[in-house]
Structure 1
């Protein structure tokens, strides 16, 4: 369902900033927009012909919104379109964009925690934001999305998975989990250590978990040997 522009953490620049998208015809849903993302959008020609642009933002660290301003500018000046940004704290994100010189008239922020995107290309898309444990300095969210008969959970950056997400996975109410995964284990780590992921996901459900936001300290082989999947970078 999701295609990934990048799958790396902040310092794992080789894999690009973690960001995913869903595109159909002239509509594009973009999940996070870190510093490397606008460049990759241009390289992959993903913005050409876009008339409906939607951003889902999980939190405001630079590797998740570093080129959000550039992409909003491009949408206004080149695509002639005012994009919609979904983020549950309008004032927080709006203040950051204002500091970057991105005028409020260039975008619209929807700060509802439960959202429906209803456009012809995608049909009805339902999104529910869920607060995550990542940073005590800024609001951070994951979300559950239902689209085209499939429901998945996307963690954003988080060092845990809520029990209700795991319960939904076990009951088949969620078909996939896209999870921020780290090879580092230290106090205050805002990302989910691979061994903790192994502890909280039973073996029979690990094939439904897709590891992303890789920090370079955990290998693809280690992830797959533990029964999980690794997301792949989209190539046009």
Structure 2
């Protein structure tokens, strides 16, 4: 689409190659970097560490710690929770920015963390460091903004 080859960091190259084959994604569309869960890999001046994320029983999903320019960023990937260790690191100032998969409705079995649960987890004074991703509609944008969270916007594609 953008004529750019995407680099994907994932703990199981076989699983992704199988999925991409089914979806008719060609090998020349991406660069797959196999990694190990909870183990950092270096990509130039960036370090990335995949960590297991809770999404659904049927799908293995990963979040990522990204270390760059003396900053620590957590990106949740598809996730309906924030792991306790990650939340503690964030609350103790060890994570500079937290990007969390968020949805508006709060229902049992959701693969995404509701904005109401996110607001229960994150103290008001830290919400300016939280960026909601995987936006499912305008209700979420309004509520997240009202509660003091950021919404990720895509610019300059």
TM over 0.5: yes
Which of 5, 16, 34 in structure 2 is aligned with 1:93? 16
Asked whether 1:55 is paired with 2:21, we answer no
Contact in 2 for aligned 1:198/1:226 (Cα 8 Å): yes
Flag the structure with higher strand content. 2
Q: Which residue does the alignment assign to 1:126?
A: 47
Structure having greater relative contact order (Cα 8 Å, sep ≥ 6): 1
Which of 12, 35, 42 in structure 2 is aligned with 1:116? 42
Contact in 1 for aligned 2:115/2:140 (Cα 8 Å): no
Report the aligned-residue RMSD: 2.1
Distance 2:29 2:113 in 1: 35
TM-superposed deviation, 1:220? 2.2
* C-alpha distance 149-216 of structure 1, shift in aligned 2 (>3 A): same
Contact in 1 for aligned 2:80/2:113 (Cα 8 Å): yes
Asked whether 1:136 is paired with 2:57, we answer yes
Distance 2:61 2:30 in 1: 21
Alignment length (residue pairs):
153
* C-alpha distance 106-186 of structure 1, shift in aligned 2 (>3 A): closer
Distance 2:107 2:92 in 1: 32
Within 5 Å, give how 1:76-87 maps onto structure 2.
Answer: 86-87=9-10
Asked whether 1:184 is paired with 2:110, we answer no
Distance 1:106 1:160 in 2: 31
TM-superposed deviation, 1:106? 7.5
TM-superposed deviation, 1:102? 2.8
